[in-house]
Structure 1
Amino acid sequence: MTPQQRARFFDAAAVLFDLDGVLTPTAEIHMRAWSELFTAELARHGVQQQYTDEDYFRYVDGRPRYDGVQAVLQSRGIDLPYGDPSDAAGAETVCGLGNRKNAVFGETLEREGIAPYPGSLAVVDRLGMIGIPAAVVSSSKNARQVLEAAHLLDRFPVIVDGVVAADEGIAGKPAPDLFLTAAERLGVAPSHAIVVEDAVSGVAAGAAGGFALVVGVDRGVGAAALTDAGADVVVSDLAELLPAEAEKDGS
């Protein structure tokens, strides 16, 4: 990342962060929970093509939970009733499967806890130090739970997550609506705000929203995929955004 791009990042009116895979390594817990769910579900339907990490990045990553369930099932030719978000975790519906995955995720998070990526925490600290407001924009309905577990909840005056999206009828990623809502609530124009995302769908949402800069964080999906989706710059860790003096100081 060039010094000019770093300077542009820390001169923004606001920064909008995705959560899982950007601020916290919860994507790893999500991936394990999804794998557990679909390995069992595909076997139940006699599907020979196994669920893989590639399926996660292609069909699930960054999308609302039930959309991800539908996408994976459709990729294997499985047609289940959509059901209702209130469905029990044992129900053989799209919502039931999504709720089953969420139960596994919650149990794992409670058992193992979570800590933010050190580089991401350093960037959030620096933004706070120089007075640039930040928001969390996540498709997950677990965002507040994760932020609380990572001791980050009080760092973000605006959180637009899956709960807000469902309550207010806001379209999920790759539509830009969640990011646009967060920018509006921070009182900044999209053209003066920056989006930070690790998912192809999230990068596409940022690119579609007319934001000043879309930073892709490559946690496994691949730099080329993020660039193709609309990322202006791709890093492997948010520490790369820090000015050299900040890295030396450890701030």
Structure 2
Amino acid sequence: MSRPLEFFDAAAVLFDLDGVITPTAEVHMRAWSTMFTELFAARGVRAPYSERDYFQYLDGRPRYDGVAALLFSRGVDVPWGEPSDPDDADTVCGIGNRKNAVFSSLLETEGIAAYPGSLAVIDRLAALGIPVAVVSSSKNAVPVLTAAHLADRFPVVVDGVVAEAEGLPGKPRPDIFLEGARRLHVDPAGAAVVEDAVSGVAAAAAGRFGLVVGVDRGVGSEALRDAGADLVVGDLADLLAEQKGAPQ
């Protein structure tokens, strides 16, 4: 088996957003919890929503796919609907849009800031001239980057909006990461991916990227490695520490 690519030797780095660059995963988790707790109570679902549901069914997946998976786990059957459904519609899309309304409200009132370690790594990559992209299942990637004052740092963003427009399947399929590499004009084998979700790590591994870095924000190091991560860190600042400790 070939040795994984060294992170700061990569031709490009493709970052997931939520939980990797910004702590938006926490905001998403609160929005999902608020919405599903109210929904399950209204429907009389006996098994309440839990944090485990977020990691098992929602984390890293396209929004409507996550809604459908979680509803199925509770035996709740609603029609798929259309992305244009209002957020009070009793459809998969309507429920997903309801969650997004809660998320947007939280983002607007509370704002968001990048993890300091992630910002330091982005600065280091810029100093080295290594191009970067954001590849996210979220349709909120651009608003989140704007709120975090990072929009100008990522000329390439492949998110849920792009995926829908281009007909690209979401993670754990590798298509959106491969599209990110294509837009950066790099071979996936020479590029690195940074992910915190099992589905995202699996997508990067399926795309045969040269290095897959898992960031353990709660899903667990073992789960990330099992999904295909070559390296797992607790914070991206660890990558800078490893570089400083490497022989010159």
Deviation at residue 45 of structure 1 after TM alignment: 1.8
Deviation at residue 184 of structure 1 after TM alignment: 0.6
Unaligned stretches of 5+ residues in structure 1? none
Deviation at residue 56 of structure 1 after TM alignment: 0.2
Structure 2 Cα separation of the partners of residues 123 and 231 of structure 1: 19
State the match for 1:106 in structure 2.
104
Deviation at residue 176 of structure 1 after TM alignment: 0.2
**1:18 and 2:31 correspond:** no
State the match for 1:28 in structure 2.
26
Count of equivalent residues? 243
State the match for 2:41 in structure 1.
43
1:213 paired residue among 211, 214, 239 = 211
State the match for 2:134 in structure 1.
136
Alignment TM-score, normalising by the size of structure 1: 0.94
Unaligned stretches of 5+ residues in structure 2? none
**1:57 and 2:55 correspond:** yes
After the TM superposition, list the runs of 4 or more consecutive aligned residues in structure 1 that deviate by more than 3 angstroms.
243-247
Deviation at residue 124 of structure 1 after TM alignment: 0.2
Alignment of 1:191-210 (within 5 A): 191-210=189-208
State the match for 1:97 in structure 2.
95
1:231 paired residue among 229, 232, 238 = 229
- The residue type equivalent to 2:84 in the other structure is S
Q: Report Cα offsets for 1:142-185 as digits up to 9, x if no partner.
A: 00000000011111121000000001101100000000000011
Q: CA RMSD for the aligned pairs?
A: 1.4
Q: Report Cα offsets for 1:4-34 as digits up to 9, x if no partner.
A: 98x8100000000000000000000000000
**1:147 and 2:152 correspond:** no
Query: What is the identity percentage for the equivalent residue pairs of Structure 1 and Structure 2?
Result: 69
SS of the counterpart of 1:159?
strand
Deviation at residue 47 of structure 1 after TM alignment: 1.2
Deviation at residue 243 of structure 1 after TM alignment: 4.1
SS of the counterpart of 2:6?
helix
Deviation at residue 62 of structure 1 after TM alignment: 0.3
Deviation at residue 217 of structure 1 after TM alignment: 0.3
SS of the counterpart of 1:180?
helix
Structure 1 Cα separation of the partners of residues 37 and 105 of structure 2: 18
Deviation at residue 105 of structure 1 after TM alignment: 0.3
- The residue type equivalent to 2:75 in the other structure is G
Structure 2 Cα separation of the partners of residues 10 and 199 of structure 1: 22
1:119 paired residue among 117, 120, 127 = 117
